[in-house]
Amino acid sequence: YACSSPFAQQSGKHTIEEVLAGEIVSDPLRFLECCAMSVGSACTLLCTEELAYKLTDKPVQLYMAGGSHTLRTGDRRPMRIPLLPNETEESYRWLYSEMEKQDGRWPGFESFGAARFAAYLAYRMAGIKIPIEDLDLVETHDAFTISDLQTYGDVGLTLYGKEQEYVKSGDCYLTNPHTGKPGKCPANLSGGLLGTMHAVGATGIFQCNEVMWQLQGKYDKFHGDPKIWSRYGKTKPTDWQSLQIKDPKTGLSISHAGVGSHVTCAVLKKAY
């Protein structure tokens, strides 16, 4: 997806074999599975609802919540995860049973608790009941390939423990490779942190802007204009592909801070 973005720092097409042949950065993650640190900035305009309708005919509502949780597993106490609206205790009975065999770990143990808390609060604010049905797209904090995978469980697009199955289902792609139909909830159409950029401090706004442009139907305007490509010293690819989703109404972005111990979850809704 980063190949369609003029803002991308790390765009390129790589085979699975090329990724697996890279040097190990932090076992088992290899070079191409880790984002490059960027120098960059991002900006968006926040205003009252009344002013928003005066400034644009395509305003977007923002619901945002932050969560925090210790990341060092040695500091974590065994706990029941906060359940999202689409989850029940029964949903995780099998996984709790499995985890008890592994030193008392629990669902979400290997993930970001702060992201789960942030999503829990943001969903209550925005009225999200079933994420995979209510969200049309997401931007995850994919600083590493594993971070992308972890987020699908954190925000409830699938159950904890089922993240790999979710990716294999094809629902996280713009076009499901198995059916040829649109994916249920495409992820990181911006190119993500891995492909586009991770300018610490600007990343969260960059993600929100990408979701906003999708909701406004302006993906092509900001990604397909040859003048924008030229502004960044690039030439628009001849095989450029529009990644605009058809009539999206709600999107989500997740942004991490610190060592993943502080996370913000933003739900954006079309307001026109």
Domain range list for the chain: 2-270
For 107, residues 6+ apart whose C-beta sits below 8 A from its C-beta are 81, 92, 95, 96, 99, 159, 160, 161
Digit-by-digit pLDDT tens for the chain (272 residues) are: 999 999 999 888 999 999 999 999 999 999 999 999 999 999 999 999 999 999 999 999 999 998 887 766 666 666 677 899 999 988 888 877 777 676 655 556 678 888 999 999 999 999 999 999 999 999 999 999 999 999 999 999 999 989 999 999 999 999 999 999 999 999 999 999 999 999 999 999 999 999 999 999 999 999 999 999 999 999 999 999 999 999 999 999 999 988 778 899 999 999 99
Question: How far is it, in rounded angstroms, from Cα 50 to Cα 195?
Answer: 37
Tell me how many degrees the CA angle 169-173-176 measures, rounded to the nearest 5: 55
Cis peptide before 28 (omega within 30 of 0): yes
Chain centroid to Cα 95, Å, comes to 24
Whole-prediction pTM: 0.93
Bridge partners, residue 139, by sequence: 253
Residue 179, pLDDT score: 97
Residue 75, pLDDT score: 63
Determine the residue type at 31.
F
Helix orientation angle between 145-154 and 113-126, rounded to the nearest 10 degrees: 50
Q: Which two tokens stand for residue 14?
A: 């790589």
Question: How far is it, in rounded angstroms, from Cα 218 to Cα 59?
Answer: 12
Place domain 2-270 in its CATH homologous superfamily.
Thiolase/Chalcone synthase (3.40.47.10)
Residue 170, pLDDT score: 98
